[in-house]
Amino acid sequence: MPEVGILIVDNDIASQRALKNVLDSEGWRVRIVPLVSHALAELATGSWNLAIVNMELADVRGPLFAILKELSEADPAAPQPEGEPPPKRIRALFLVPIARAKEMQPILEREGLPYSLKPYHLHDFLEKVSELLVEAGAIAEPIRSIGGFGAGKRRVRNPHFSRDTRRGTMFATRENYQMTDEEMAEYEREEEEGRKKREKELHDMKDRGGHS
């Protein structure tokens, strides 16, 4: 079966890292783009099976949302003009911050587009991704269990995750992972470095704005 290609459209560094770790661990080809213009250019290549999109970037009245909806609805089995290949069906999964769920959920449900609320659980997320890849014809069957993520460093203790999202983590709560003290320390260090990097980028942007 051809290589699986997943495009991530997200400008949040922590979210980018978490998504890439999970999807890389499955051996899939993953690319991250932080801008709508870059996403449109990538979609035009036709080399992706699934686009995972932060709804903070996908204005429901904008071109990215419209194109993803059209691509998701494409029917490869429909008759095509002579000489034209059948359209490739690219599926889309929209990531909706819980704070904006009341605003965005009705729109996505009305359009029949799949989404996940953030924070979400790793097992549920990966299962939904794999189901969409099956619909796109990229894999033969959906994933129903997972053995780990992040290059095998953080192993799942139980594939049936708790559904308690009150702690606000991006994936399942940390109790669901079996980690050594060294791995936990590294995880905390990476999170802190990411936070400092985001703060510096925001500070630099403000400085450039003040001197323009």
Among 89-98, 163-172, 185-194, which stretch is predicted with the lowest mean pLDDT?
A: 163-172
**In this predicted model, what pLDDT tens digit does every residue of 56-91 receive, in sequence order?**
888 889 999 999 998 888 765 556 566 655 556 789
108 in the same domain as 64 = yes
- Expressed as residue numbers, the domain containing 32 is 5-177
Nearest-angstrom CA–CA distance, 12 and 7: 14
Domain containing residue 108: CATH number: 3.40.50.2300
Cβ(19)–Cβ(8) below 8 Å: yes
Same domain? For 133 and 199 the reply is no
Question: Beta strands of 48-172 (E only): which ranges?
Answer: 50-54, 91-97, 115-118, 148-149, 154-156
Name the strand (E) or helix (H) holding 5: strand 5-9
Together in a domain, 71 and 59: yes
SS3 113: coil
79 and 92 housed in the same domain: yes
* Tens of pLDDT, residues 101-134: 999 999 999 999 999 998 878 888 989 999 999 9
| 198 shares its domain with 168 | no
Residue 87: what pLDDT?
Answer: 57
Check whether residue 209 and residue 145 sit in a common domain: no
**Domain count for the chain:** 2
Specify whether 148 is located in the same domain as 197.
no
Same domain, residue pair 169 and 88 = yes
Q: Are 196 and 118 within one domain? A: no
Do 170 and 196 belong to one domain? no
Question: Is the same domain home to 136 and 184?
Answer: no
